[in-house]
Structures are given as structure tokens and as C-alpha cells.
Amino acid sequence: MCSGRVDLEFILRAFSNGMDGVFIGGCRLNECNYITQGNYDALNMVLLCRKIMAHIGLNPERLSIEFMSSGEGIHFSEVVDGFCKKVKDLGPLGKGEKIDEDELKSKLEEVRNLIPYIKIVKRKKLASRLENKEEYDEFFTSDEVDRLFREVVSYHIDPDKCQACMMCFRKCPVKAIAGGKNLIHVIDQDICIKCGTCFEACPPRFGAVNKISGKPVPPPIPEEERIMVRKSKKM
């Protein structure tokens, strides 16, 4: 019902499913029926998504957002006709950009996996409301989005420091941490959404969770090496 409900995931899923263009229609800015002003959220998300599309080689013109009232039927049909024509001119998704189909699929998949991370890193900007269109033109820059992908952060538990206190295990929102009593904890990188909760949750006296950027994450230690032998029990 509200354009604010259109998630970044919905758009990227549409492209992953082979849609050549995505059009979002929202109520006029500052005319939202609710205090949430969800159409600003939609606008910010579209601006970010368009930069992400350019980053992976897709023409950002394939994504459009327009604001209008329900009484503007003629305007709506003109805008949609214009968008359809533009998308037809661009050609099928990927082919128009000369990107190999498999490469495009894997690029879209890579971005979709990072959606929770992107939303966390860009949450302040995604919730902003700017006053005029000019301010929005360069709201998200290409450099900023390139950096976002270049400096993706991963989290890793140092097996030599983990004390199996289970704080991170209990707080991880997606159950990406394997652990338990007297077990060195391990993050499953395929499930981790890079929210940073474990980094915050690990008591400073242990400091076992590391933030890693720009280099590979060490492989998880084998299961048979995860059992902890406490000093008191060693004696």
C-alpha cells in the first residue's frame, strides 16, 4: 500500500527474476497520510539502488520512482508509458549492458546477500528527508557506493580468545554462530548478515570478535578442536 514498503530486496529480486525494469509509484512527497512519510524512505532507497545498479554494470534508468496523487490518472498513464518505452529502448536486462547472464546473476546475488549490511551501514542516510530535489541528485555518490562494496566488513571469532561465554551466540539475530557451553564459538559466514551485534556483545575482557575488512576471513576451526579445556580441569 505504501511505497515505503518497497524494500531494496524486492527490486533486486525483480531484476534477478529477469525483469527489464522496475517502476515504483508513490504518493506525492509531504502528502503522506501518516507521520512515517514512507515515500521519502522509498526515494532514498531508490537513489541508493540506482547507484548500486551502476556499480554492477546495470543501467540505473531501469529503475524509476514517481510521485503522484490518485486523482492524476492521465499523468500516471503518461509516466508509465514513458517508462515502458525507455525500458524497451534499453533492451533486455543485461543484454542491453552487454553483461554475461551468469555474471549478472552472480553480481545480483552478491548484492542481495549484502542487503542487511547495506541497510545497517547506510541507515542514517536512508532515513533522511532532504528539502529539495537538487540535494537529492548527489545524495549517494558513486565513490561512496564503490567504497561500500570494497570495504565490506566481516566478523570472525578468534579461537584463542573465545571463552565460550555464549553472549554472542544468544544475541546473533540470524543464528549464524555455532557454539555452546565449553565450545569455542564459530561464525558461519554464509549465514552472517554482518550486523556487528557479536562484536558489541563480546565482553571487552575477552575481545574475541574481530572486524575484518579488505582481507579474507580465516577458515573456521575444525569441529573436533572446538571443545575447550578449562585450566582448572587441566590440572
| Residues lying near ligand SF4 in the complex (CB under 6 A) | 155, 157, 162-169, 172, 174, 176-177, 179, 185, 187, 192-198, 201-202, 206, 208-209
Specify the 3-state DSSP secondary structure of 73: helix
186 near 172, Cβ under 8 Å?
A: no
DSSP 227: B
CA distance 212 to 218: 10
CB 4 to ligand SF4: min, Å: 25
- Strand 63-67 relative to strand 22-26, pairing: parallel
Cβ closest to ligand SF4, residue 22 vs residue 118: 118
Q: How far is the CA of 183 from the CAs of 54, 169, 177, 194, 220, in angstroms?
A: 44, 11, 11, 22, 13
CB 161 to ligand SF4: min, Å: 7
Q: What is the DSSP string of 103-144?
A: HHHHHHHHHHHTHHHHHHHTHHHHT---SSHHHHHTSS-HHH
CB 201 to ligand SF4: min, Å: 6
CB 14 to ligand SF4: min, Å: 26
Cβ closest to ligand SF4, residue 85 vs residue 170: 170
CB 35 to ligand SF4: min, Å: 30
Cβ closest to ligand SF4, residue 43 vs residue 208: 208
Cβ closest to ligand SF4, residue 98 vs residue 215: 215
Cβ closest to ligand SF4, residue 49 vs residue 157: 157
